[in-house]
Amino acid sequence: MIVSQNWLKEYVDLPMSVDELTERLTLTGLNLEGVENVDDDVAIDLEVTSNRPDCLGHLGVAREISVLWQLDLKKPAPKPTAAGPSVDSLTSVTVDSPELCPRYTARLIRGVKIGPSPAWLADRLRSLGIAVINNVVDISNFVMMECGQPLHTFDFAKIAGQKIVVRKSKPGEKFTAINHQEYELEPGTCVIADAERAVALAGVMGGADTEVSDHTTDILVEAADFAPLSVRNTARRHNLPSPSSYRFERGVDPEAIDWASRRCCELILQLAGGELAANVIDVAEPAEARPTIKLRFTELPRVLGIEIPSDTVQKILTDLGCAETHICDHCIKVTPPSWRADLTREIDLIEEVARIHGYEQIPEDTGVKMVASTRSREDRVLEQTRAMLTATGFDEAMTISAIDRSWVDLFRPWSEADPLVTSTPVLRRANCLRQTLVPSLLSARRTNETLSNPIIELFEIADIYLPQAGELPDQRRMLGLSSGSGFLELKGVIEALVAAIAPDAQLTAIEYSAQLFTAKRGAELSLAGRKLGFLGEVSTWGLKQFDLRDNTTVAEIDLGVLVDAAIEIRKVVPLSPYPPVGRDLNVVVDEKVCWADVERLVRTGCESLLENIAFQEVYRDDERLGKGKKSLLFSIQLRSAEQTLTNEQADEVRDNIIAALAKELGGQLRA
């Protein structure tokens, strides 16, 4: 935001030097970007943060100066003289989309004379680097830079039907802006239209069809409020940033709209002549009441480390425009002014008091009480997850949440609904919010392969977005894994992760088929009966889709399920002083039997005596075992916490396991 020193002097006295002025403004949040001499003026470039749109005009900066130096603020009080018929008998305004345009005002001036601006007006705009066009357009720019409220002036004779309609654009509707380029509008774009076509992009740019020219005689003055998100989307979608959109995106003062309209009309009457129609058309939604905020005086030393007298606090807040509603010996209650939408909480008021009182008033050695925050259950689980995976040799990846539409159908384990689409691609063609992390990780793997990185073990913790009809998307935090190791190795990593975080929960796997996975090498994982995620070796087809050279295995885990099953407080279990006893088992089962079912029965049969179970290998031989049979070799380790197990006791446990396998799965001990 560039402000003119000479212009500021119209609203507040400036007895200080430019250096002193800019230094103090910097200390209170308006950082200096640069200073430039422009003829007999000084242009001061200030960085205005997004939460301070009230300082995007000279009056806002002057208000800050008046508070800091205790000077009077001289704000104009426009009172344009109206005559002739009422404006609502000459034109009309209809707002079809009040959610996109909470307020729209219109005034009409007839019989103006378009011409060059006077020197003082042209100098004001040139000092800010704004092009000088004609008296009417220059006045609208002047008022915007004066108070921060954008305005627009239409050639009223070119408005079809002599009426204004604020509506959403229609499918395929086109619009020609004042830069004389044609744009095809996305459906739902907020436009200002007449009886036939769109004549302006709301809050962004006017149209060429109704722009003010040398032949204009009647002017319709627009002063409105538009939804910040709508303006931002429109400006970005069409690559049309403007001073108006910059201000509407950050929010304008709703109570300054009529002031800006009157100020603009007053200056037009002075510099371009004409007759202002009586009254104003003002279409507005009911305004929400500003909240009353309570500031406890005891919070100032707690947060800032210094005592500030209550009368000083009271003066600072009222000087800033806050309306005092209550004050006593321990607190003050105020209602923030309309131009300070950023003041919503007690800590906001504390910040205001601190910056106006002066941060330099706080000694460097002042102690501020610090209280350690408590980490949530999810925070602790995520910390464990990251520590476990990095210890296993994985590196954490960070990818964007949007992907190419062509990737969506490659792997859809969580939802078949159409993905949510962004209005503007985050990257080229990346406009779909992802429903799984797998494509992003495989893309990252391809990048690493092109750089010839020898080891590519990646994990990512991020959100996915599953659409829900008529509701906000189901936003889930997931853990994605991509490994150059095989199916069993990555399954072991997941088992170790679950054992470290939720040791009491049973992890099971059943076969899962997907085009992305190699046949018989995909699994759906469950934890304590809840769907945990997926694991699979990427098929040859899948490798081609992502231009991958080397084999890879991927997995995705719903961290919400893992967090729910996590055990935060661990119990110490004394180690058994007795020796373990091991047994090897070689069981013949049908080909369709899964190891997970065998493991489940073994754990059930051993009860508390099982210390470890280890799969060794699988053997297939139609001649020795029979067609459709396989042999599973595994070992168990038994240990009792109460006594030394005898061979007879260990054999009894083994026999119980064999009996359970025979009954449930038809398994037989191999001879």
- Mean of pLDDT values over 317-335: 95
pLDDT of amino acid 445: 95
Share of residues in the chain with pLDDT > 90 (%): 79
Flag whether pLDDT at 458 surpasses 80.
Answer: yes
DSSP letter (8 states) at residue 293 = E
**Distance between CA atoms of residues 302 and 92, nearest Å:** 56
Please report the pLDDT score of residue 604 as a whole number: 85
3-state secondary structure 358-411: CHHHCCCCCCCCCCCCCCCHHHHHHHHHHHHHHHCCCEECCCCCEEEHHHHCCC
Which residues neighbour 183 within 8 Å (Cβ) at sequence distance 6 or greater?
174, 175, 176, 177, 238, 240
DSSP secondary structure of 95-158: ES-TTT-SEEEEEEEES----PPPHHHHHHHHHTTPPP--HHHHHHHHHHHHHS--EEEEEGGG
- Average pLDDT in the 635-664 region? 93
Q: What is the Cα Rg of the chain in Å?
A: 36
Residue 182 pLDDT class (50, 70, 90 cuts): very high
Q: Distance of CA 234 to CAs 322, 370, 427, Å?
A: 34, 44, 18
Q: What was the pLDDT predicted at 603?
A: 87
Do 382 and 461 touch, CB atoms closer than 8 A? yes
**pLDDT at residue 44 above 90?**
yes
Task: List Cβ neighbours of 653 (8 Å cut-off, separation of 6 or more).
Answer: 583, 605, 606, 609, 636, 638
| All residues at 6 or more sequence positions from 508 whose CB lies less than 8 Å from its CB, including other chains | 525, 526, 527, 596, 600
Residue 226 pLDDT: 96
Task: Determine the residue type at 512.
Answer: Y
- Look at 151-155, 426-430, 485-489, 524-528 and tell me which has the smallest mean pLDDT: 426-430
Structural domains of the chain, ranges and CATH numbers in brackets: 2-68 (3.30.56.10), 82-284 (3.50.40.10), 293-359 (3.30.56.10), 377-565 (3.30.930.10), 581-669 (3.30.70.380)
What average pLDDT score do residues 168-192 get? 92
**Mean pLDDT score, 173-200:** 93
Q: Residue 141: its pLDDT value, please?
A: 96
Average pLDDT of the segment spanning 44-59 = 94
Task: Answer with the residue of higher pLDDT: 137 or 504.
Answer: 137
Give pLDDT, residue 524: 93
Helix (H) or strand (E) holding 168: strand 163-168
User: Long-range contacts made by residues 502-508, C-beta under 8 angstroms, separation at least 24?
Assistant: 502/527, 502/528, 502/562, 502/565, 502/566, 502/567, 503/567, 504/565, 504/567, 505/565, 506/600, 507/532, 508/596, 508/600
The predicted structure's pLDDT at residue 425: 74
Find the angle CA(440)-CA(446)-CA(540) to the nearest 5 degrees: 95
- Measured CA distances, 111 to 142, 216, 220, 263, 669 (Å): 21, 9, 12, 18, 105
pLDDT at 13 over 80: yes
pLDDT above 80 for 371: no
pLDDT of residue 107: 96
pTM over 0.85: no
- Whether the per-residue pLDDT at 169 is higher than 80: the answer is yes
* pLDDT tens-place string over residues 552-611: 999 999 999 999 999 888 788 888 999 999 999 999 999 888 888 898 899 888 878 999
Rounded Cα distance between 531 and 428, Å, is 34
- What is the tally of helices (H) and strands (E) in the chain? 20, 32
pLDDT of residue 607: 79
427 forms bridges with which residues in the sheet? Answer: 430
Who's near 436: CB < 8 A, 6+ residues apart?
A: 411, 412, 413, 414, 464, 478, 480, 556
Query: pLDDT of 387-412, one tens digit each?
Result: 999 999 999 999 999 888 888 889 99
Q: Residue 82 pairs with which residues in a beta bridge? A: 276
Environment class of 243 (CB within 10 Å of its CB; exposed 0-12, middle 13-18, buried 19+): middle
Closest CA to 8 of 69, 99, 79, 52: 69
3-state secondary structure of 171: coil
Dist. CA 115–CA 216, nearest whole Å: 10
Q: What is the mean pLDDT of residues 303-326?
A: 94
- pLDDT-based confidence at 659, cuts 50/70/90? very high
Give the type of residue at 134.
N
Residue 432 has pLDDT above 80, yes or no: yes
Residue 640, pLDDT score: 93
Tokens representing residue 35 in the block: 């200073």
pLDDT of residue 35: 94
The Cα 578–Cα 226 span in angstroms is 77
Q: Which amino acid is at 253?
A: D
For 297, left (φ over 0), alpha (ψ -120 to 50), or beta?
Answer: alpha
Q: What is the mean pLDDT of the chain?
A: 92
Cβ neighbours of 469 (radius 10 Å): 5
Per-residue b or e along 396-423, where b marks 16 or more CB atoms closer than 10 Å to that residue's CB: ebebebbbbeebbebbebbbeeebeeee
**pLDDT at residue 127 in the model:** 94
- Please list the residues that pair with 583 across neighbouring strands: 636
Is the distance from CB of 47 to CB of 34 less than 8 angstroms?
Answer: no
- At 670 the pLDDT is 85
pLDDT tens across 77-107, in order? Answer: 999 999 889 999 999 999 999 999 999 999 9
pLDDT score of 317? 96
- CA–CA separation, 10 and 146 (whole Å): 11
- Token look-up 């009182």 returns 357
Q: What is the pLDDT of residue 56?
A: 95
Question: pLDDT confidence of 624, banded at 50, 70, 90?
Answer: confident
Contact predicate 14/69, CB 8 Å: no
Rounded to an integer, what distance in angstroms lies between the CA atom of residue 194 and that of residue 161? 7
pLDDT of 427 reads: 77
> How are strands ordered across the β-sheet holding 293-296?
293-296, 331-335, 323-327
Q: Is the pLDDT of residue 370 over 80?
A: no
Q: Are strands 218-225 and 82-86 parallel, antiparallel or unpaired?
A: unpaired
Contacts of 203 (CB under 8 A, 6+ apart): 150, 190, 224, 226, 230, 231, 234, 244, 245, 248
Cα angle 217-221-226, degrees, rounded to a multiple of 5 = 150
Backbone φ and ψ of 391, nearest 5°: -65, -25
- For residue 451, pLDDT over 90 is answered with yes
Q: What is the mean pLDDT of residues 280-298?
A: 92
Give the span between the Cα atoms of 240 and 224, in whole angstroms: 19
Contact between residue 633 and residue 618 where contact means Cβ atoms under 8 Å apart: yes
What single string gives the DSSP state of each residue in 211-237?
A: ---TT--EEEEEEEE--HHHHHHHHHH
Locus of tokens 């030393």: 301
The token pair at 302 is 């707690």
Phi, psi for 611 (deg, rounded to 5): -100, -35
pLDDT of residue 364: 81
Largest CA distance in the chain: 113
Mean pLDDT to the nearest integer, 201-206: 94
- Judged against a pLDDT cut of 90, whether residue 508 lies above it is answered with no
Instruction: Give the Cα separation of 196 and 586 in Å (integer).
Output: 84
Asked if residues 140 and 264 have their Cβ atoms less than 8 Å apart, the reply is: yes
